[in-house]
């Protein structure tokens, strides 16, 4: 927090604009649209609300409104990023859609274009792609957009973690047909809550703004002709976001410094930092992560809620490192568990670059290992989850605190 946040919250309080109307909301919408480079932004209660209304909008555009309560996507498949938080995926189910998970690639840890192309071979009728940029790193945008264009599919771009990241000089959140960002309490711009829908279409922005305020019609009484939601951002939350926006570049610089310090401090260990396309991308480095080399992994077994490992000289695993970090009162986390591994979605289709991977993946879970083909794991998302972890990345962390974390990580490999 920098101080302006409290000032704008106080203004909302003093002027008694405490609800979902006010100057702060208007300013957030104007400034975020300008920052990202879209024509319009709609301030919402959460990033998930933005994804939900994007899914609803895409569904109605592609298939019509549908029956009340079933959603416009009822029974329709949607291609989704696999290694992401479930907020990327759940709104598809809200609208009756069926997520089909697309495997990850090693270069950026995002949706694999080759697997996406394979998915269109398996399901040529799909018309919607739900793409997330993991940990602030842009995916292979040009390739994915080319595939979408080839198959006449729309893209929902989940940029919740990647606000401020660029691909070939253009901000993430501005590449898809609909863009979504988050101001959750852990994001690079923190509103404690909140999100925004991004679009270049005035008509779409009006539709989402209407839906987010219970779809009230323009009448002097409360008139409703379609289903709406209580999804609008409050003027108080908007005050926090408004105070944060001018510091986006400063926050990105702090996050980059953290990433580079980890990279230097762990450089001689058998690990790699989360990668990005250095030629085309500038990530916001929202979270610094590492991936342990296969030969340096000690034995580790994960159940649904617990994990066990066997310490081994010169080797480590995510469970050991996370426990060591926790022992000095700091917090790391596992990599997002891929959606196709989640109990709620385990029976949904999952596509690798070789084809439909659902049956093989279920077998891997039972066997506790990742099969390989031509030296590479068939299920790349599972491999990254097994070997990867997220490091403490708070931009308030001091260099001395980070050095202590690095020291603790190094000791795990001794």
**Mean pLDDT, residues 107-131 taken together:** 97
Residue with tokens 């479930």: 86
Residues 347-400: tens digit of each pLDDT? 999 999 987 765 444 433 333 345 565 556 679 999 999 999 999 999 999 999
Q: Which of 187, 207, 255, 315 is catalytic?
A: 187
In the CATH hierarchy, which top-level class contains the domain 249-337+374-412? Answer: alpha beta
**Mean pLDDT, residues 167-188 taken together:** 96
As a dihedral over the C-alpha atoms of residue 314, residue 407, residue 333, residue 1, rounded to 10 degrees, the angle is -170
What is the number of other CB atoms lying within 10 angstroms of the CB of residue 190? 20
On the question of pLDDT at 36 being above 70, the answer is yes
Q: Which residue has the higher pLDDT, 213 or 363?
A: 213
Measured distance CA(317)–CA(386) in Å, rounded: 8
Domain ranges of the chain: 4-247, 249-337+374-412
| Tokens at 357, concatenated | 């991977």
For residue 229, the model assigns a pLDDT of 95
Residues 83-95: tens digit of each pLDDT? 999 999 999 999 9
What confidence tier does 69 reach under pLDDT thresholds 50, 70, 90? confident
**Mean pLDDT, residues 217-223 taken together:** 92
Tell me how many degrees the CA angle 201-202-206 measures, rounded to the nearest 5.
120
Q: What is the mean pLDDT of the chain?
A: 93
Residues 294-316: tens digit of each pLDDT? 999 999 999 899 999 999 999 99
Measured distance CA(80)–CA(103) in Å, rounded: 9
Which residues neighbour 198 within 8 Å (Cβ) at sequence distance 6 or greater?
32, 33, 36, 38, 40, 41, 159, 173, 174, 178, 179, 180, 181
Percent of the chain with pLDDT over 90: 91
In the CATH hierarchy, which top-level class contains the domain 4-247? Answer: alpha beta
119 forms beta bridges with none
**Mean pLDDT, residues 322-344 taken together:** 96
For residue 359, the model assigns a pLDDT of 44
Residues 248-303: tens digit of each pLDDT? 999 999 999 999 999 999 999 999 999 999 999 999 999 999 999 999 999 999 98
| Tokens at 30, concatenated | 């104007």
What confidence tier does 71 reach under pLDDT thresholds 50, 70, 90? confident
State pTM to two decimals: 0.93
For residue 397, the model assigns a pLDDT of 95
187 is an active site residue: yes
**Mean pLDDT, residues 311-334 taken together:** 96
């Amino acid at each position: 927090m920098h101080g302006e946040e409290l000032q704008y919250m106080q203004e909302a309080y003093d002027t008694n604009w405490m609800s979902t109307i006010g100057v702060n909301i208007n300013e957030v919408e104007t400034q975020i649209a300008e920052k990202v480079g879209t024509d319009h932004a709609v301030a919402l209660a959460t990033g998930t609300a933005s994804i939900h209304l994007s899914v609803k909008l895409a569904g109605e555009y592609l298939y019509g409104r549908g029956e009340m309560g079933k959603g416009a996507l009822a029974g329709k498949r949607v291609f989704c990023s696999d290694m992401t938080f479930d907020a990327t995926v759940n709104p598809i189910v809200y609208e009756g859609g069926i997520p089909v998970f697309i495997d990850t690639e090693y270069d950026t840890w995002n949706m694999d274009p080759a697997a996406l192309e394979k998915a269109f071979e398996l399901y040529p009728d799909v018309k919607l792609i739900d793409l997330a940029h993991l940990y602030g790193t842009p995916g292979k945008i040009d390739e994915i957009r080319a595939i979408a264009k080839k198959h006449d599919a729309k893209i929902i771009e989940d940029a919740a973690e990647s606000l401020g990241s660029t691909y070939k000089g253009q901000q993430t959140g501005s590449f898809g047909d609909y863009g979504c960002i988050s101001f959750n309490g852990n994001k690079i711009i923190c509103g404690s809550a909140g999100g925004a829908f991004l679009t270049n279409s005035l008509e779409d922005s009006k539709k989402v703004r209407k839906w987010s305020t219970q779809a009230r019609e323009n009448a002097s009484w409360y008139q409703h002709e379609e289903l709406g939601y209580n999804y609008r951002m409050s003027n108080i939350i908007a005050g926090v976001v408004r105070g944060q926006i001018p510091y986006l570049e400063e926050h990105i610089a702090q996050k980059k410094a953290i990433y580079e310090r980890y990279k230097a401090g762990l450089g001689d260990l058998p690990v790699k930092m989360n990668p990005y396309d250095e030629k085309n991308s500038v990530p916001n480095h929202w979270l610094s992560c590492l991936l342990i080399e296969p030969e340096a992994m000690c034995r580790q077994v994960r159940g649904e809620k617990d994990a066990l490992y066997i310490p081994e000289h010169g080797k480590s695993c995510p469970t050991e490192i996370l426990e060591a970090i926790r022992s000095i009162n700091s917090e790391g986390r596992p990599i997002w568990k891929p959606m196709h591994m989640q109990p709620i979605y385990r029976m949904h289709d999952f596509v690798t670059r070789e084809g439909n991977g659902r049956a093989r993946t279920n077998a891997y879970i039972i066997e506790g290992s990742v099969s390989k083909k031509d030296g590479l794991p068939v299920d790349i998302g599972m491999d990254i989850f097994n070997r990867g972890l997220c490091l403490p990345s708070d931009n308030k962390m001091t260099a001395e605190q980070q050095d202590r974390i690095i020291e603790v990580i190094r000791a795990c490999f001794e």
